[in-house]
Chains A and B, each alone.
Chain A
Amino acid sequence: MPEAPSDRTPSSPFRRHLLMGMAALPAATLLPRLARAAEKPTAEVNTTGLAVTDDTVTCGILHSLSGTMALSETGATEAEKLAISQINASGGVLGRQIKVVQEDGASDWPTFAEKARKLLASDHCAAVFGCWTSASRKAVLPVFEQLNGMLYYPTFYEGLEQSKNVIYTGQEATQQILAGLNWVNKEKGAKTFYLIGSDYIWPRTSNKIARKHIEGHLTGCKVVGEDYFPLGSTQFNSVINKIKLTKPDVIYADVVGGSNVAFYKQLKAAGIDLKKQTLMTISVTEDEIVGIGGENIAGAYACMKYFQSLDNPNNVAFVAAFKKMFGEKSVIGDVTQAAYLGPWLWKLTVEKAGGFDVDKIAAASGGVVFDKAPEGYVRIHNTNHHLWSRTRIGLAQADGQFKVVYETPDLIEPNPFPAGYQ
């Protein structure tokens, strides 16, 4: 079989620019340590037949480049490539340059499983960065567990999962939801909530958690409505009428993908002004606003761990490097940032473990710290392979960005199997 064109790192003049843009990044400080690590012989760092040579290590990127998910997954792909090129420019991992094999999951779950199997069984990838939807992750999970691969999964998701072979770099549902509900209850005095979601596992689980929290932990609060719409649905008039009748303090929305465009436009057309009616979403990032249009969603609150507008040196450098590589107009959403963490966390874990073997990586992942993350300091949980992270609330602006209005004081512990919320 001909191999996929593998090395997609940018050409050298480009890389020079990148290096200069990255002066603020952590890589430089790690260089001396790397030089030492590179002396480790391949036989010692790779005892399980991974694609590791004396100067390269092969990793896979597995996202949808075609089909309905391509639009969402492009950002994640780009962020992973950026991280990999930065790691390579700073000396690689244990002195080895990362070679990338990219595969197209084509928004099709069996294809994801097939490509995952190819990346592990044929290409012997040391790690794979990829997947976006829960369905694609569920499809590849048995493959990773059977062939003992390592997947870095970037999307915020419903939880209820934990695997030795997956590092979840996005937030699980309780991390994303609880702090936001507390804030809106305290700051906005919200008592009544209307839950609206797309009809699949993530919104249903998220709303279940939200409902338990609202009814069980926030005094005097209740859910006045809960509705679901098929993926891709564009008719929200009925629920908008119900909202007008029940007049909830907060519309709590986890509508995903293209449906968002119709939802926010119809809300606006129905005369619901988001500056007066509080709306909190956990599914709209800067990427989605490009489609929705900033003027249609301005005034809504989004609750997640990262916004492009975060003002810290790590993020400023990250946004600059991203725009330099992929164009001034590119936007960076929560998942894109989480995807960027994947290669860095893997690199740090490999260095901590002193080798590429998946079993060692899985064991060493707990406690790995990446303090130069654009979202700020993150740490992999000691046991459950999710990340400790802050949750932030952003106010949507007409220009398509969010203004951060709140951030949790502490990192929130990931809890994929939340007791009392199931």
Chain B
Amino acid sequence: MSKIVMNSNAFMTRKDVVCFGVLAVLLLAVFPTVLDPFRLNLFGKYITYGFVALGLVLCWGDTGILSLGQGVFFGLGGYCMAMYLKLEASTVEATKIQSTPGIPDFMDWNQLTELPYIWKPFHHLGFAIVAIPLVPVVLALVIGFAMFKRRVGGTYFAIITQALASILTILIIGQQGYTGGVNGITDLRTLDGWDIRTDGAKLILYFGSAILLLASMVLAQFIRRSKLGRILVAMRDKEDRVRFSGYDVASFKIFVFCFAAALAGIGGAMFTLQVGFMSPSLVGIVPSIEMVIYCAVGGRTSIFGAIYGTLLVNYARTTFSEDLPQVWLFAMGALFIAVVMVFPDGLAGIYRRYVDPHVERLLGVTRKPAGQITTSDTASAVVE
């Protein structure tokens, strides 16, 4: 047993390199050449959801923490970016018809006469860039600390994260003078003087998102293949055993939850840049659950599965809703049910069962007893 574990301890196997290569070619070469600018921009948007799905693979697939509130972190990252962009768009010149020029338009409509304190630091791009991952992480830290230290987990944790999504939505909608309310923060124009609305800018943003996603995947892969990653899986399968072995389970959970939150925040910021606005409809319960669905369809224990799942579900969503505007939701529902009923491990499960053996033969890799990291592997890794 220990031989196999040692073997797969390498950060990337040949197979992983091939998988990364295929995805990188797809994202960086195939899509940009095949798709017109409009479709490519849509894929850029799907990629931003991929950050959330990637976080969920570590958080849910590996560690077994189901979070139904990832939209919160996605939204926080997105709002941090949107606040910076909105301030840049709200110059005194551009808002001279308002009662108070120089503040965002929705504040003026809500009778605010000066910029609130929490908005002021967002005049600086550097601050916004730091805040994008940091704000979600701080919130995740607080929640993680409060929950995991008290050993709240499983369904209870899922419900609490869902409540969080609901609370933040209500907060944003209720405080519309500070947040733009239900309309969100709209009409974003430039990033440090660079117009983000042109086709050229959208192309660059697409590549930026794709490269960031690939880099995040490498980082996630690194974590999963490290000892840390194995402890996470061990906690999912036998939490008590890990605890009795002397590990501080709560700290590991807090770490992975924060990591997923940071990824979601980055995704949110890239979303704002590409779509041009941020609104509470991306923060609430429904988008949060949809993001879990992307991950489930792709396969929650595979980072590649999760990304392909995200791209596929969103592509299907767009295509179905264009071709069958009246009944597309039924088509989406049917897709989800079919995947979950027939392939509980999602696309990754299909791949492992039917495609992987052939790939391995081609690559000349001998097959491990199981395609994924299993409890026995991990438990032995942890114990040994």
User: Quick one: given A103-B321, A142-B187, A200-B183, are A65 and B173 in contact (CB under 8 Å)?
Assistant: no
User: Chain A residues near B366 (CB, 8 Å)?
Assistant: none
Q: Which residues of A contact B176 (CB under 8 A)?
A: 199-201, 204
B119 is an interface residue with CB less than 8 A from chain A: no
Tell me whether A230 and B325 are in contact in the complex, defined as CB-CB below 8 angstroms, given that A109-B184, A110-B275, A142-B197 are known contacts: no
Tell whether, in the assembled complex, residue A135 and residue B42 are in contact, meaning their CB atoms are under 8 Å apart: no
The interface centre, meaning the residue of A111, A141, A142 with most chain B CB atoms within 10 A of its CB, is A142
Q: Does B247 contact A (CB under 8 A)?
A: no
| B211 beta carbon closer than 8 Å to chain A | no
- List B residues 77-134 near A (Cβ within 8 Å): 97, 99, 105-106, 109-111
> Distance in Å from the Cβ of B270 to the closest Cβ of chain A?
13
Q: How far is the CA of A95 from the CA of B267 in the complex (A)?
A: 48
Smallest distance from the beta carbon of A124 to chain B beta carbons, Å?
A: 11
In the complex the two chains form, is B181's CB within 8 Å of A109's CB? no
Residues of A within 8 A of B184 (CB): 109, 135, 138-139
Q: Pick the contact of B321: A106, A110, A417 (CB < 8 A).
A: A106
Tell me which residues from 168 to 207 in chain A have a Cβ below 8 Å from any Cβ of chain B. 199-201, 204-205
Residues on B with C-beta less than 8 A from A141 are 186-187
Tell me if A4 is interfacial: C-beta within 8 Å of chain B: yes
CB distance from A192 to the nearest CB of B (A): 23
Interface centre among B42, B182, B184, B279 (most CB of A within 10 A): B182
The stretch from A114-122, A288-296, A333-341 touching chain B is A114-122
- Give min CB distance, A234 to chain B, whole Å: 14
Please encode chain B, from 245 to 282, with 1 for each CB lying within 8 Å of some chain A CB and 0 for all others: 00000000000000000000000000000011101011
Residues of the B chain whose Cβ atoms lie less than 8 Å from the Cβ of A1: 39, 319, 322
User: Of the candidates A5, A104, A138, A417, which one forms a contact with B186 in the assembled complex, judged by CB atoms under 8 Å apart?
Assistant: A138
B53, chain A: closest CB distance, angstroms: 17
- Measured between C-beta atoms, what is the minimum distance from A206 to chain B in Å? 11
Counting CB contacts under 8 A, is A102 at the interface? yes
Q: Name which residue of chain A comes closest to B287, CB basis.
A: A108
| Interface residues of A, count at CB 8 A | 42
Interface centre among A113, A141, A205 (most CB of B within 10 A): A113
Does A146 sit within 8 A of B, measured CB to CB? yes
- Known contacts: A104-B325, A138-B187, A231-B173. The answer to whether A114 contacts B318 by CB under 8 A is yes
CB distance from B175 to the nearest CB of A (A): 10
Residues of B within 8 A of A142 (CB): 186-189, 197, 276-277
Given the known inter-chain contacts A113-B276, A142-B187, please indicate yes or no for A103 contacting B281, CB distance below 8 A: no
Q: How far is the CA of A347 from the CA of B267 in the complex (A)?
A: 43
Q: Assuming A5-B323, A117-B41, A134-B183, is B279 touching A201 (CB within 8 A)?
A: no
- The CA of A5 and the CA of B109, in the complex, are separated in Å by 41
A110 cross-chain contacts in B, Cβ below 8 A:
45, 275, 277, 279, 281-282
Contact A200 B325 (CB under 8 A): no
Asked whether any CB of chain A lies closer than 8 Å to the CB of B11, the reply is: no
What is the minimal beta-carbon distance from B288 to any residue of chain A, in angstroms? 14
Instruction: Please name the residue on chain A nearest to B278 by beta carbon.
Output: A110
Does A23 sit at the interface, judged by CB under 8 A? Answer: no
Least CB distance, A151 to chain B, in whole angstroms = 15
B82 to A: closest C-beta gap in Å: 12
Within 1-58 of A, Cβ neighbours of B (below 8 Å) are at 1-2, 4-5
**Residue B326 is within 8 A (CB to CB) of chain A in the complex:** yes
Contact among B42, B110, B188 for A114, CB-based, below 8 A: B42
The answer, yes or no, to whether A208 is at the interface (CB within 8 Å) is: yes
A residues within 8 A CB of B188? 142
Contact B173 A139 (CB under 8 A): no
CB contact under 8 A between A230 and B282, given known A66-B329, A102-B325, A142-B276: no
In Å, the complex CA distance between A204 and B110 comes to 8
A139 and B41 contact, CB distance less than 8 A: no
Which residues in B have their C-beta under 8 angstroms from that of A422? 99
Q: How far is the CA of A231 from the CA of B173 in the complex (A)?
A: 9
Option from A114, A122, A200 in Cβ contact (under 8 Å) with B182:
A200
User: In the complex, which residues 229-274 of chain A have their Cβ closer than 8 Å to any Cβ of chain B?
Assistant: 230-231
Kindly list chain A residues whose C-beta atoms are within 8 Å of the C-beta of B318: 114
Residues of A near B326 (CB, < 8 A) are: 65, 104
Beta-carbon contacts of B133-152 to A below 8 Å, as 1s and 0s?
Answer: 00000000000000000000
Q: Which of A139-169 contact B (CB under 8 A)?
A: 139, 141-143, 146, 158, 160
Residue of A whose beta carbon sits closest to that of B110: A204
B384 at the interface (CB under 8 A from A): no
Smallest beta-carbon distance B88→chain A, Å: 14
CB pair A201 B325 closer than 8 Å = no
What residues of chain B lie closer than 8 Å to A102, measured between beta carbons?
Answer: 325
Q: Could you say which of B41, B45, B109, B174 contacts A199, with CB atoms under 8 Å apart?
A: B174
Q: How far is the CA of A108 from the CA of B314 in the complex (A)?
A: 14
Q: B336 in the interface, Cβ–Cβ < 8 Å?
A: no
Contact between chains at A121 and B186 (CB < 8 Å): no
Whether A118 contacts B186 in the complex (CB less than 8 A), given A109-B281, A200-B181, comes out as no
- Which residues on the B side are within 8 Å of A4 (C-beta)? 322-323, 325
Provide the residues of chain A in CB contact with B111, threshold 8 Å: 208
Contacts of B328 in A (CB 8 A): 66, 104
Contact in complex: A231, B110 (CB < 8 Å): no
**CA–CA, A158 and B197, complex, Å:** 26
Residue of B nearest to A110 (CB): B275
* Contact between chains at B173 and A230 (CB < 8 Å): yes
Please judge, given known A-B contacts A2-B323, A103-B325, whether A113 and B275 are in contact too, CB under 8 Å: yes
CA distance A231 to B181 in the complex (A): 11
- B8 CB → nearest A CB, Å: 40
Partner of B183, one of A113, A115, A138, A208: A138
B38 in the interface (beta carbon within 8 A)? yes
> What chain B residues lie within 8 Å of A146 (beta carbons)?
197
Residues in B with CB closer than 8 Å to A158 are: 109
User: Is residue B200 contacting chain A, with contact meaning CB distance below 8 A?
Assistant: no
- Docked Cα-Cα span, A199 to B321, in Å, equals 30
Question: B170: CB under 8 A from chain A?
Answer: yes
Instruction: Report the bound CA distance from A139 to B323 in whole Å.
Output: 22
Chain B residues within 8 Å of A117, by CB: 38, 41
Pair A230/B170 contact, Cβ less than 8 Å: yes
Instruction: Assess whether B187 is in contact with A135, with CB atoms less than 8 Å apart.
Output: no
Where the two chains meet, the residues of B that have a C-beta atom closer than 8 Å to any C-beta of A are 36-39, 41-42, 45, 97, 99, 105-106, 109-111, 170, 173-174, 176, 181-184, 186-189, 197, 275-277, 279, 281-282, 318-319, 321-323, 325-326, 328-329
Q: Could you write out 15 A-B pairs with CB less than 8 Å apart? A: A4-B323, A103-B321, A108-B281, A109-B277, A110-B275, A110-B282, A114-B45, A118-B38, A121-B38, A135-B279, A138-B184, A139-B277, A142-B187, A200-B183, A230-B173
> What are the 10 tightest A-B residue pairs by CB atom distance, in nearest-first order?
A121-B38, A104-B325, A138-B186, A135-B183, A200-B182, A138-B183, A109-B279, A4-B322, A146-B197, A104-B321
Q: A65-B325, A103-B325, A199-B181 are in contact. List 20 more A-B contacts (CB 8 A).
A: A66-B328, A109-B184, A110-B275, A113-B276, A114-B42, A114-B318, A115-B322, A117-B38, A117-B41, A121-B38, A139-B279, A141-B187, A142-B186, A142-B187, A142-B189, A201-B106, A230-B170, A230-B173, A230-B174, A231-B182
